Amino acid sequence: MKKIAILAGAYCLAISLLSCGNNQQSQNTVNTANQAPAKDTSKQGLLQAVKAAEAKIKSSPTPDDDSYNLAITAYLDYAKHFPQDTLSMFFLFNAGQYASNSRQFPRAITLYQNIQTRFPNSKLIPECIFLEGFIYDNSMKDTANARKKYNELIEKYPHDSLSIQARQMIKFLGVSDDELGKRFEEQNKKKIKEHKKTPA
C-alpha cells in the first residue's frame, strides 16, 4: 500500500512538474511573440524611420505630441548611431524645433546646446544660441537666461544678422505684450506728428 501511495505521489509530482514546464515554455513563446522586432540601426533603416516620422508630421495640419516625440526619437537614434555625420547636426536641430513645438522647452535647449558641443564650427550655432534665448524669453519667461543667451550671441557673432535681432530682443525683455503695443502706438503717433510738421 505504501508503494502505491509513493508511486501515486511521484506520478502527481511528475505531472505537475511537466505541466509547469509546459506553462514555462508557453510563457516563453508568448514573451517572444510580444517582443518588438529588433530595430534596424543601419543608416538606411534609421533614415527610413526619420522619413516616416517626418511624413506623419507633415500629413497632419496640427501634429500631436506623440508625432513630435516619434520624430525626435528617430532624429536622436540617427545622431546616436552616426554622431559625426553632418545629417546628425541637422537632425538634432530639427529635434530641438519639434521639442519646442511640443512645449518641451528644457529638452529643446539641451538639444541646441548639444549641437554647439558636438559641432563647434557649425553655421547653425548662432541660430541655436538665438533660439535658446528666444525660448527662455518667450516660452519660459526667464529673462535672466534670455539676456545671457542674447549677449552670448552678440559677443561671439557680432556680425551675424541674428545679433541685430538679439539686440532688439534685449530691449524688450520683460515687457508685456500690452506694454509693447503701447510703446509702438506712441512711436507711431510721434512719427505721424513729425510727418505732419514736415513741409511738403
- Full DSSP string of 115-129: HHHH-TT-TTHHHHH
Q: Quick one: 79 and 137 in the same domain? A: no
Q: Quick one: 87 and 135 in the same domain? A: no
What SS3 state is found at 140? coil
Q: Which residue has cell 518641451?
A: 104
Neighbours of 71 (CB within 10 A): 27
**pLDDT at position 162:** 97
Q: Which residue has cell 543667451?
A: 149
**pLDDT at position 197:** 72
Evaluate whether residue 48 is within a structural domain.
yes
Evaluate whether residue 77 is within a structural domain.
yes
Contact yes or no for 64/46 (Cβ under 8 A): no
Evaluate whether residue 88 is within a structural domain.
yes
**pLDDT at position 194:** 76
Evaluate whether residue 129 is within a structural domain.
yes
Contact yes or no for 130/149 (Cβ under 8 A): yes
Q: Quick one: 82 and 50 in the same domain? A: yes
pLDDT tens for the chain, 200 residues: list them.
Answer: 444 444 344 444 344 444 444 444 444 444 445 566 678 889 999 999 999 999 999 999 999 999 999 999 999 999 999 999 999 999 999 999 999 999 999 999 999 999 999 999 999 999 999 999 999 999 999 999 999 999 999 999 999 999 999 999 999 998 887 887 887 788 788 778 777 776 65
Sign, CA dihedral 66-67-71-77, equals positive
Residue 118, amino acid:
R
CA distances to 96, 121, 124 from 75, rounded to whole Å, are: 10, 20, 17
Residue 163 domain boundaries: 123-175
Q: Quick one: 89 and 134 in the same domain? A: no
Evaluate whether residue 136 is within a structural domain.
yes
Sign, CA dihedral 140-111-96-38, equals negative
Evaluate whether residue 15 is within a structural domain.
no
Q: Quick one: 96 and 130 in the same domain? A: no
What SS3 state is found at 1? coil
In whole angstroms, how large is the CA radius of gyration of the chain? 30
DSSP assignment of 63-130, as one string? --HHHHHHHHHHHHHHHHHSTTSHHHHHHHHHHHHHHHHTT-HHHHHHHHHHHHHH-TT-TTHHHHHH
Q: Quick one: 98 and 146 in the same domain? A: no
Evaluate whether residue 20 is within a structural domain.
no
As for how many domains the chain has, the answer is 2
Q: Quick one: 96 and 127 in the same domain? A: no
**pLDDT at position 34:** 56
Q: Quick one: 91 and 135 in the same domain? A: no
Evaluate whether residue 115 is within a structural domain.
no
